[in-house]
């Protein structure tokens, strides 16, 4: 997948001994944008597999009418949750909860949105890792739901060399201090690999180190 001089690919693998992969992702060229979404369905919810998949699709549906460059980003979450609920009906949102990570590339700006755990690693003029700050003794993640705001971060497209988005299934096998180095080396390998999917085979190699599903999307400048 290519747009604005960027390539993108994603990979996902079911955790060992799990019946279903409750992660979902989507990458799409859409209305002069490159859109990438990663969702991690909560394992405690009976329909989380359906919820994560429907949430990915609902982001694209929301972008049919929502323009990140012209509209106030605070209105994206209520629009998205309404479309998501309609797509899931008659299932209840509370049975389908999921985390949400979004990257929207336009010609001039990159919009990164996040709810819940997992990480978004930004490489370029400014190196940064977007992660959830968990509060309370249980350290439980906060999923996307009614009344939940999306945390948005905006960057200039020209300042971005690459972005790596991954679920906590990947994050928990990485040392926090090593995440930036991992992202930079992974994106570099993707850039020089004619078939980036070969690079993602490490997911299978590390799958036994964590019981959780593992999903990532790499977006990198050619």
Three-state SS string over 41-65 comes to ECCCCCCHHHHHHHHHHHHHHHCCC
pLDDT at position 207 is 60
Number of domains forming the structure of the chain:
1
pLDDT at 89 over 90: yes
Cβ atoms of residues 25 and 44 within 8 Å: no
Residue 159: C-alpha distances to residues 21, 114, 126, 148, 167 (Å): 34, 20, 8, 29, 24
CATH of the domain at 187: 3.60.40.10
Phi-psi region of 172 (alpha: psi -120 to 50; beta: other; left: phi over 0): alpha
Give residue 44's pLDDT band: very low, low, confident or very high (50, 70, 90): confident
Range of the domain at 76: 2-221
pLDDT at position 55 is 98
Tens-digit pLDDT profile for residues 78-88: 999 999 999 99
Residue 16 CA, distance from chain mean position:
21
pTM as predicted = 0.93
Least Cα distance to 42 among 33, 52, 57 occurs for 52
The helix-helix angle for 48-62 and 76-88 (nearest 10°) equals 130
What number of CA atoms fall less than 13 Å from residue 61's CA on the CB side?
Answer: 16
């Amino acid at each position: 997948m290519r747009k604005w001089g960027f390539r993108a690919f994603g990979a996902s693998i079911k955790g060992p001994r799990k019946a279903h992969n409750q992660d979902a992702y989507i990458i799409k060229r859409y209305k002069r944008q490159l859109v990438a979404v990663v969702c991690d369905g909560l394992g405690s919810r009976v329909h989380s597999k359906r919820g994560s998949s429907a949430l990915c699709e609902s982001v694209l549906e929301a972008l049919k009418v929502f323009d990140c460059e012209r509209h106030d980003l605070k209105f994206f979450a209520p629009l998205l949750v309404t479309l998501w609920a309609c797509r899931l009906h008659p299932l209840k949102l509370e049975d389908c909860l999921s985390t949400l990570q979004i990257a929207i590339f336009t010609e001039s700006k990159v919009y990164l949105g996040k709810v819940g755990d997992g990480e978004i690693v930004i490489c370029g003029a400014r190196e940064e890792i977007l992660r959830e700050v968990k509060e309370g003794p249980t350290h439980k993640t906060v999923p996307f739901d009614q009344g939940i705001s999306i945390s948005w971060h905006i960057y200039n497209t020209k300042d971005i060399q690459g972005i790596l988005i991954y679920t906590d299934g990947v994050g928990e096998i990485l040392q926090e201090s090593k995440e930036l180095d991992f992202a930079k080396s992974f994106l570099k390998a993707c850039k020089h690999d004619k078939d980036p999917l070969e690079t993602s085979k490490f997911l299978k190699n590390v799958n036994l180190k964590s019981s959780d599903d593992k999903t990532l999307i790499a977006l990198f400048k050619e």
